[in-house]
Amino acid sequence: ERLRRPQRGLWGAVLLAGLLSGCAIDGPQSIFNHAGPIARAQGELFIYIFWFAVGVFAVVTAALVYTVVRYRRRGDDTVPEQVHGVAWLEALWTAAPAVILVLIGVPTVSLIFATERRIEPTEADLHVNVTGYQWWWQFEYPELGITTANELHIPTHRRIVLHLHSGDVLHSFWVPRLAGKRDLIPNQDNQLWFIAEEPGTYYGQCAELCLGAHAYMRFRVIASDEASFRAWAADFQGAAQTVAQTLGAEAAAGRELFKTKGCATCHAVAGYAEGQKGPDLTHFGQRTTLAAGWVENTPENLAAWLRDPQAIKPGNYMPTLWAPDDPNRDAEIAALVAYLHSLGRKGEQQAQR
């Protein structure tokens, strides 16, 4: 009786954890909710291997239950017959795992090689250099002259070829609905390709423990049709030239502060600042999130982020630029928010801010 109560509680907790863990098959980060050929092949491989696991579990459990029941201690203390070595049984349990290993190993290894096949640049594919940093992502499009962060814009139905690098420690690129995981390793050029079949936003996550804010190292893949993607790229390329002339007074003050407060030491804005340590902010006003996918990119969140970055994303390397009693803090933050949100936005929206 004493043992049963905690046991019942334990099973209840396991069941509840399963229900609450959001392991919904059609969830936004479910590998079963695939939206491209690589994720589909990975999902199907998982199901294929899963049935082998079910078979092994069933056989082992049946043998265990049979043995426990059949050879349980009965009232008498007689020693049962002692058996040493059964050749056919030993041959069977050596051969069966070997066969299973071949059956799951061959498709697994061939899928791994298929996804990292070296693909030379051509017109048909889109190549993107992905660099992982603690704790954010840089996406560089060498053919388009675009560098951005934490949001990977891609066209649908085109092969996206990623060249994966790391600026510091190991990270891992994973967008469960599209592709991954593949590690980003310093001084190594890892490749991964995938295709998005449907327009939409796909959620990604660093899948390799990289200390501090690893859990907050998220990103988004934003897939749109070819025309929308081209419009996005053209807009991005044009943003660097047009932004300075059309700023309102507050944003213009923010632009000055971007240099005097030291933002430009770490962040780049095409045509204005060249910092390399932090995310490129050229098109920042168009990003949907900040702090590597962690919070929505609203003026309120951006102001809170500038005021105290550690409160939003503990462990990150963004410094706190104002002492709490600095009388200029709120006005300077407001100016920087106006400037940063003007980046990559059209003149009309800038005027409103």
Closest CB to ligand CUA among residues 218, 345: 218
Closest CB to ligand CUA among residues 206, 337: 206
Closest CB to ligand CUA among residues 175, 263: 175
Size of the site for ligand CUA (CB under 6 A): 9
Closest CB to ligand CUA among residues 210, 221: 210
Phi, psi dihedrals of residue 165, rounded to the nearest 5°: -135, 165
* Amino acid code (one letter) for 353: R
Residues numbered 91-150 forming contacts with ligand CUA, rule: CB under 6 A = 132, 135
The number of residues in the chain equals 353
What DSSP character marks residue 246?
Answer: G
Among 180, 163, 171, smallest CA distance to 132 is for 171
Closest CB to ligand CUA among residues 63, 209: 209
CB of 135 to ligand CUA, least distance (A): 6
* Amino acid code (one letter) for 138: Q
Among 71, 68, 50, smallest CA distance to 60 is for 68
Q: How far is CA 287 from the centre of its chain?
A: 16
CB of 117 to ligand CUA, least distance (A): 25
Closest CB to ligand CUA among residues 32, 135: 135
Q: What residue has token string 């807009």?
A: 235
CB of 217 to ligand CUA, least distance (A): 4
CB of 171 to ligand CUA, least distance (A): 3
- Per-residue binding letters, 170-189, with ligand CUA (x by CB under 6 A): -x------------------
Residues numbered 197-236 forming contacts with ligand CUA, rule: CB under 6 A = 206, 208-210, 214, 217
**Can you tell me the distance from the alpha carbon of 193 to that of 127, in angstroms, rounded to the nearest whole number?**
9
Own/partner contacts of 257-265, CB < 8 Å, gap of 24 or more, are 257/332, 257/335, 257/336, 257/339, 258/336, 258/339, 258/340, 261/321, 261/332, 261/336, 262/319, 262/321, 263/336
Contact residues toward ligand CUA (CB under 6 A) are: 132, 135, 171, 206, 208-210, 214, 217
